[in-house]
Amino acid sequence: MEFKEGLTFDDVLLVPKYSDITSRSQTDLTTKLSRNLSINIPFVSANMDTVTESMMAGTMARAGGIGIIHRFLTIKEQANEVLKVKRSGSVMIENPYSISPDKSVAEAIDYAEDKEISGLLVIDSNSKLIGIVTERDLLFANKANKIQDVMTKDVVTAKLGVTLDESKEILHKHRIEKLPIVDDSGTVKGLITSKDITNNADFPNASKDKKGRPLVGAAVGVKGDFLERSESLLEAGADVLVVDIAHGHSENAMSTVRNIKKAFPDCELIAGNIATAQGAEDLIKAGVDAVKVGVGSGSICITRVITGSGVPQLTAVMDCAKVGKDYGIPIISDGGTRTSGDATKALAAGASTVMVGSMLGGTDESPGTVLTKNGKRFKVYRGMASLAASIGRKSKESGTISLDDDLNDYVAEGVEAMVPYKGTVTDILKQLTGGVRSGLSYCGAHTIPQMQENAEFIKMSRAGFAESQPHDVSLM
């Protein structure tokens, strides 16, 4: 048998080339996520339950990337996470949350807390605006009182078609934070908030849809309710769906892709994970708009240990990227990225974007609480094929978990671990994007496609790798 050589990021370096770049700010990181969707930085947060829910996805979009909401939620819960992202950064919220005047203060508080918002529009049975209730109105109010007794009745509004500058003037003039948009008959058509206007100005590089809302993706499985889940996620505003399966080069994945594309032909669809050129080609022919590459390369993935299967990540990306280029389909490198240098190598090898998990798992924006061990702070990070995730997934799908279940029936391909607490994801993304921008300049490139054209890899020995690390010094 002839053995093919497989390489990963630590096996190679990019050969420096002449550069006319005088500042890394001259580089452009805009890239394709999928066939018809572009983002402004090449980073995607992983669809894992310890990485991406609405807070992470919203932050990723504001930074110029995108987050993929994990699927280990009920359909309603996952759709609600998508809605939260869409509402978090839109200049005008098209369907603002509202309440009727005969509801109680207690009901309004519960509703606002559930939706994680600070105010509700009060509308009558004809959808006419009659008031607004905010935290200030509800503070210290008798919870048994009706909303009509505590709401602000004289509401400052604007007509449909008001410009952003006009909205700012109205908000400032009346010292208010929320501006309902109504038509000539007084029917509510939207809501503009000062926070959304500020976000729009503070994050000019944000990834947005055609309506100015943050981009967000969501994952679906290959069994059971995937069509129903897809429909709910798309209705909630998901810009892209990800068919999430450990072994993407399988009939389960192919048939799911075909079924989703048949039911929702206009949706952007990503599928994976695969690790070979043939796997990429088969998914592309099934109808995907991007292919996710990586089997066994993630920090908490033990697929290679348990199954003996996998391809070193750099080789996998390069093989799949050749096929992706032939078909005009972007490749996402998923797994094995520990540094901005790894991300740069993945992009130079042909990936359009890089999916990151463990690097973001210990941040404020990732789900979960901070743990303290030996005086240091950590967050839990686990593979979606780990034992706990597998059991949790079954309980979500069936609603119960039997005490009679044989744990030997679960063959885990991931582990649970703790990652150090890292603060905000914004700082990590700044370091990652800064490193990639510098990487482009070393390749003499202004853009990611230009780097892919210019890139020249060189293999290095163990001694070369050791030489690449800090050495002969005592680190502080």
> Is 222 marked within a binding site?
no
Q: Which residues contact 448 (CB under 8 A, 6 or more apart)?
A: 29, 30, 31, 42, 347, 352, 440
Q: Is 1 marked as a binding-site residue?
A: no
Residues 6 or more apart whose Cβ sits within 8 Å of residue 419: 358, 361, 362, 378, 379, 381
* Catalytic (active site) residue 267: no
Is 89 annotated to bind ligand?
no
Confirm whether residue 301 is marked as ligand binding.
Answer: yes
Whole-number Å distance between alpha carbons of 364 and 376: 15
DSSP-assigned beta bridge partners for residue 310: none
**Is there a binding annotation on residue 335?**
yes
382 appears as a binding residue in the annotation: yes
385 marked as binding residue: yes
Torsion sign, CA atoms 69, 71, 72, 78: positive
Is 46 among the annotated ligand-binding positions? no
Kindly compute the dihedral angle of the four CA atoms of residues 415, 13, 276, 38, in this order, to the nearest 10 degrees.
Answer: 90
**Alpha-carbon span 121 to 88, nearest angstrom:** 17
384 is in an annotated binding site: yes
CA–centroid distance for 362 within its chain:
15
294 is an annotated ligand-binding site residue = yes
**60 assigned to a ligand binding site:** no
| Close Cβ partners of 172 (under 8 Å, ≥ 6 residues apart) | none
Q: Does the annotation place 324 within a ligand binding site?
A: no
Q: Is 453 annotated as a binding residue?
A: no
* Residue 64 labeled ligand binder: no
CA distance 270 to 33: 9
| Catalytic one of 267, 301, 320, 443 | 301
Known binding residue 413? Answer is yes
336 is in an annotated binding site: yes
Q: Tell me the two tokens of residue 244.
A: 């999430």
In contact, 260 and 226? CB cutoff 8 Å: yes
Four-CA torsion 239, 244, 247, 249, nearest 10 degrees: -30
The response to whether 359 counts as a known ligand-binding position is no
User: Is residue 392 annotated as involved in ligand binding?
Assistant: no
| Tokens representing residue 397 in the block | 């799908």
- Binding-site residues for K(+): 296, 298, 301, 467-468
- Binding-site residues: 244-246, 294-296, 298-299, 301, 334-336, 357-358, 381-385, 413, 467-468
Active site residues: 301
- Binding-site residues for IMP: 299, 334-336, 357-358, 381-385, 413
- Binding-site residues for NAD(+): 244-246, 294-296
